Structure 1
Amino acid sequence: MTTPATYELRPEDFGARPGVDATEAFRALFAEVNRRLRRDEGGGVPVSTVSVLLTGSYTVSGTIMQAAPGRAQGLTIRGLGKRASEIVMTGAEPLFVNADRWMGVRVRDVSFRSTNPRASFLYSTSTGGAQDWGFDNVEWRGTWSYGIGLDGPANSNCNSEWAFNGCHVNGSYDVAFLWSGMTPAVPSQDQFLNFWFYGCKIEYDYGYFLRFDKGGFITVDGGSFIIKGQRPDGGTSRFFHLPTAGHYDSVQHLNVRGVRFELRNAAAQVIKSLWGGHIVFDGCSDTALGFQPHSPSLIAHEYTNPGGVTYRDCDLVGRHAYHLTAPSARQRVVYDACTRKNNRTRESFLLVDGARSLTAPAIVHVNDGDGIK
């Protein structure tokens, strides 16, 4: 019988058993994945000839996908469904390490859970080889330092084209679920761009959902976004944390469409941004808990020296803050056909401060549902 060119590997094939730490079994599995690469007839990067099938719950205590030399593409890791297939991380290391190697990776129908607050799901460092990862019906839960960390040395190129479809971000994150540009001192990390989230359930306890220190071109389309609790240290949690200014023009873009946000306490925000590019919220609402006592004074959206900010057909909670301290000829904020749960006057809704607050371009309200001009 001819051996098929492509087939499935299971951790059980390498000694994984219920109730026993499976770290070494997974390491042997991924070593076999690395061994069974074939030449890509249409290009220079070798292609995986196997996929990884997870059919139960596995406990591990260390990194299961370790660094390996060279580049590879086309790996699929799949399970039977969310929580039907799960890897539980008890150690303090990244569960997966991608050192400028794997691209074109797909992960689907599986859960990942950490019981160690120093653990991370994936550390990916790139000079161009770590790109094009996709996640479908994947869940993360438990306590993590961070979920996905994207990094790179000097002269790095990209950690780009990351797609999330119908995923569930649960648990808690000391830093962020996705932390892009972990070493801001490296200028070329501004090539970390192109991130897409479709119909995801982002309902976690605390931390940042997205932290982008080196810019990005991000699209979020639909989904339920809830910050359920508070950080143990009392600090702020937020969905979008964009803490560094001065990126390239092509990597300062955030487009959020049709998302329902819940901010359940006064230490939660939708966004805090220092970007000078374009940020758009279209058809969104963050007013679900607008009746709570903390909501009227909540700074739900906060910007420092923004470029183009647009809210279109949005229902908004609390207040929006703009800190204007540096000149910008391209600064423009537009609210188009928006309404508010609290603070339905311009004076109560907008907090504008900084040395340029009196001379800055106008914040424009068009067809406003509360009659703000």
Structure 2
Amino acid sequence: MIPFNQPFTIGNELAYMQDAVQRGKISGDGFYTKQCQFFLQNRYGFKKALLTTSCTDALEMAAILAEIQPGDEVILPAFTFVSTANAFVLRGARPVFADVDPLTLNLDVAKLESLISEKTKIIVPVHYAGISCDMDQLLEIAKAKNLLVVEDAAQALDAKYKGRPLGSLGNLAAFSFHETKNVMCGEGGALAVNDANFLERAEIIREKGTNRAAFFRGEAAKYDWLDVGSSFLPSDLNAAYLLAQLENLETIQQQRLKLWNTYYKELKPLADAGKLQLPFVPDYATNNAGLFYLLCRTPEKRTALLAHLKAQGIMAVFHYLPLHESPYYLKHYPKVSLPVTENAARRLVRLPFYFNLTENQQSRILEAIRKFYT
């Protein structure tokens, strides 16, 4: 079986983990955590980058920083992972789901203003597959309406919008280093803080609501409980693994882009023949090869293709189930119709995609797809 995903090592992951143990500190905010944070800040220009145990935790920190209250509304696409909504629902917010653009599967900015009400507090663009949302118009609307922007950049590390790194455009942004992402540490994430108003409080919230980080830097005589918060710090073992991957980011990206471009080139004849739809990269965006998907013509064709690939020893999968159709949402909120989201979610197939996918394995996958369609 060719798996859908496969974790990998590329450099000093294991050596750095051993070194973290020998340094005598493997809990949060150790040497390797700080190195990862410096890397992210220096490469992407964030005012502050804070490693977290997951992208989910980074989003939950964003919701606390934004002071979400019961009754507030947050606009986000329904085509996303449940964490994007849960982070704000946990604080009492009502998710207001937007439909997506049929080409990028990102939040359809043209429909954004119609969703804004007096209760709206945040817009959460999700950069699906590492391809940027149309951010100029979104940021303009947010500024005019005095709304915060929290980028869900879980899949968007090293991707850009008009030359600017994704995650640097909103007030806050959340990244994922889950094992399915470009660079990984099993479970991990980061909160990027771009709004100076949030810098000090973000650090306090991350440290259980205390000024412990400032205390360890010698900036406070003692540390106290100052705010709400939780334990959002990852183990320095995770950070050690992550740093080794960040150090090899260029090599990882080159290989992933090679795999992505091969998929696209080899499947384009089927797309040109109208048998399937391939990912679309707008002129304003760069492609970070976050994942590779295709859209079948019908849900029935998708089901048949997945079964065919499985029979050939290839594990391909579908992706998000639309959140506005979930049992939880329908139990608590009125039903809404998002036709583009519903249509795309029922037709989408994600192909195996990971750093050490071999040429032979990729050729097998492509041949199996061609066989299915011919």
Which TM-score bucket, shorter chain as reference?
under 0.3
Larger radius of gyration: 1
Normalized per residue, which structure has more strand? 1
| Greater RCO (Cα-Cα under 8 Å, separation 6 or more) | 2
Normalized per residue, which structure has more helix? 2
TM-score (norm 1): 0.22
